A and B are shown apart, each in its own frame.
Chain A
Amino acid sequence: MNRFVTANPSKCIGCRTCEVACALAHSDGAGVEGLAPDTFKPRIRMVRTADVSTAVMCHHCEDAPCVNACPNNAIVYRQNSVQVEQERCLGCKNCVLACPFGVMDVVTVPAVRSFAGMTLSLGVKAQAHKCDLCVGRDAGPACVSVCPTSALTLMDREAMDETLRRRRERAAQEAAEVAA
């Protein structure tokens, strides 16, 4: 099963700590000073409507619409998650339109190449931009670790089994109450 981060709307207080942690976890070590409004692109977003506050991010679907929609096979299943091979991304935005959760985006970054000690500018490079579960970060998903109300959880097979077990128990309990 693919792992993914879920948010519990009955715990989220809409504080956006997760957004900043996510942006920082992908700042190549630049730290907070590298953050600015124009370039702030967290892969998790707090959404606030009249009745709900919660965070939304990639579900790492098992049969992912973005993977299916990509004409250049840039999105792949790897390490029990959905990952983007950025060198293959064309920036065509098929995946953006295909994602039912609105959590895939295409961003552009300055493209450079180093050649014989010189840095050449190559215009811009497109990137399909979404939660990568912080692969490569030793401490795991950054958003999960900072959320002050523990609204975020990393769901892997084990956590999922535990959730399902509790739900089934509750269902049995409720069934018994109805029967009684």
Chain B
Amino acid sequence: MEKHMAVCPYCGTGCKLNLLVEGGKVVGAEPLNGVTNEGELCLKGYFGYDFINDTKILTPRLRNPMLRRSRDAAFEAVSWEEAIQYAATKLSAIKAKYGPDSIMTTGSSRGTGNETNYVMQKFTRAVLGTNNVDNCARVCHGPSVAGLQVTLGNGAMSNSIPEIEHTKCVLVFGYNVADSHPVIAKRIIKAKERGAKIIVCDPRKIETARLADLWLPLNNGSNMALVNAFANVLINEGLYNKEYVANHTEGFDEYKAIVDKYTPEYAEAITGLPAEDIREAMRIYAAAPSATILWGMGVTQWGQGVDVVKGLSGLALLTGNLGRPNVGVGPVRGQNNVQGSCDMGVLPTEFPGYQKVTDPEVRAKFAKAWGVESLPDQIGCRLTDVPHLAETGKLKAMYVMGEDPAQTEPDLALVRKGFEAMEFVIVQDIFMTKTAMFADLILPATSWGEHEGVFSAADRSFQRFTKAVDAKGDVKHDWEIISLLATAMGYPMHYNNTKEIWDELRELCPIFYGVTYEKMEGLGAVPWPCRDLDSAGSKYLYEGNVFQRPGGKGLLFATEWRPPRDQLTEEFPLILCTVREVGHYSCRSMTGNCAALQTLADEPGYVTMNPKDAKALGIRDQELVWVSSRRGKVISRASVTDRTNKGAVYMTYQWWIGACNELTIHAVDPIAKTPEYKYAAVRVEAIADQVWAENHVQQEYAKLKGGLSNAVSRAVKKAPAYA
């Protein structure tokens, strides 16, 4: 049996593992003693590898480039030459006719790795000539980046994952660590065993709420009010660190003026929390000699996400919990490499290494290195702008790599209209997906396990992963495909391996310069900033309490609480909040093709609800129900549990039948443009004929699966001899 070192492709914890290979097939995974995982893996890490082997449980792997010359035609398998030539001709024509800003590309925060993302944004900027490149951070931690960049100067986790178990207080806000990052959950449990106090702010009784010293089940949509009340208590009870605030922060007076009205009593009405609990939480937080705030989608997926992020960083600033070990602010990145795609500049605002596209010196540096005269200076459009821009005719072509927006974006009906309105859509992926069904051209790439590269874990650590098996079929590495396309469009681009790409980008990004492949050999993990060849990187940011802002001080920021956008009415009386579950990842194209994970959870997924709501609607546990909003209607299975608060229901977003994003609203944060996935008004209805409903789910599921796999098998059957 061979063993090949890899980094788990499922979450930002960045667990190191060995893929076990027998006869060219991956047959198992075993944990390695990586820096972040120390010999542990979770459900997905242990049992989430068999998708590589093309199990076809959910969807088939892509094996050939596939093209359809008109939208009503079927896909046909074509040669790489034809595929690349076709794409180059189309993109060049659209660029010539409508201008570079009519084309949009995406990076991928998933298995492809940092090098590919670097190449994708280089292609977008240097070859297409636009900053229209984005990644799915937009729909997750975009607000964390936008918010923290303003208040502290850096959008990432301030401290490292291993430090969590040494902090004396963990404030968990809108973050279901047990389901999102099980191996980080262990750190929190260990911290508690070492005497740390755990405070959890979440409407649901999530696993960490059960283990917490204090659980604050706030009303859905009241985050800003609670964070302001926290600040109010710290200030009015004199719990804040006056010296730290004086020396290392600015904006205190305005800040104090805004939070002044948010007394715990005032916040009680908005948050539904007893004023005394709000006080108690801050007394615990402020008393701890070291304290860490961790948050997730419960903070960011709101119309007011950026403000709340800024507010949370304010709590750390007020108490001086930054700039040293075992403290800090932690927006814990969900997808395995969403930190990486931001690091690599797959963002409409930034070049790799967080260098602004609006800075002429930066542009000149990149233009010179890439051998082009100039680079675009306008900020590009965001992923969440796409449906609107496509419908109004501003976007004409889209090149989607390794993402499935037709499953993961809000208000899917709107997304579909957007895709239909485009003139040309390329989807580059490892699986046939719902998004690929909208493509004109499908480009098949190698999967995690079939290529090597570097990922960024949630705590900024760069780690290498290696190839375990050879890819089957006529597929290429993502970065090879993009290079071929660039060359065909008249910009010769060629790399022999990922290390060449890495070394090119290191030279261009001062904060990554010291992170060489050699340092990341084996179990090596190097957290950026790492500016020198002899540096081991930075476990924590803001050393000496110097913030990366003009003047070097942290900004205290508060603003008024705004209620959520969607309106509860008699017709739609319940709040729908989308969440995730431990066994499935992202759009499920990977985990849905893993036998173990699909065994534990399959269509149509669950809508969890409180027993009181269920009883009022005549719904029993495990029954199929209709869930509808102003935007759509889907079938799901009721899970009736006391852990869910009354008045709200929760669905995970990876199901095709129980697709909660048919229901969610396209209301976005004004700055980060992140959608309000956490609050849509819905109605839940019992279904009298359960037998019909069960059959309906099976039929619809079979139809969708059949549609995707037929699209591939029909194309391949007609494949000429070169395939």
Contact = CB atoms under 8 A, between A and B. Distances in A.
Contacts of A24: 47, 596
B594 interface: yes
B210 interface: yes
- Dominant secondary structure at the A interface: loop
Interface in A134-154: 146, 148-150
Interface in B84-129: none
Contact of B211 (A10, A20, A32, A34): A10
B508 interface: no
A50 B612 CA distance: 14
B55 A33 contact: yes
Nearest to A9: B210
A14 B207 contact: yes
B599 A37 contact: yes
Interface in B154-190: 178-179, 182-183, 185-186, 189
Interface residues of B, number: 34
Query: Chain B CB within 10 Å — which of A32, A49, A148 has the most?
Result: A148
B42 A15 contact: yes
Interface in A45-84: 48-53
B42 A148 contact: yes
B41 interface: yes
B350 interface: no
A180 interface: no
Contacts of B641: 48, 50
B367 interface: no
A11 interface: yes
A16 B186 contact: no
A17 interface: yes
Contact of B595 (A14, A19, A35, A150): A35
Query: Chain B CB within 10 Å — which of A15, A34, A50 has the most?
Result: A15
B701 interface: no
A33 B582 CA distance: 20
A53 B205 CA distance: 11
B599 A31 contact: no
Interface residues on A, range: 20 to 34
Contacts, number: 84
Interface in B679-719: none
A98 interface: no
Contacts of B671: none
B203 to A, nearest CB: 15
Contacts of A10: 189, 211
Nearest to A36: B599
B28 interface: yes
Contacts of A40: 599-600
A17 B46 contact: yes
A103 interface: no
A113 B415 CA distance: 57
A32 B182 contact: no
Contacts of A48: 641, 643
A97 interface: no
A25 interface: no
A35 B46 CA distance: 14
B595 A33 contact: yes
Given A53-B210, A148-B43, A148-B186, 12 more contacts: A11-B189, A15-B42, A17-B46, A17-B47, A31-B27, A32-B50, A36-B599, A37-B602, A50-B205, A146-B46, A149-B182, A149-B189
18 contacts: A10-B189, A15-B179, A17-B42, A17-B46, A20-B47, A20-B596, A32-B47, A32-B49, A32-B594, A33-B50, A33-B55, A48-B643, A50-B205, A50-B643, A51-B205, A148-B182, A148-B183, A150-B186
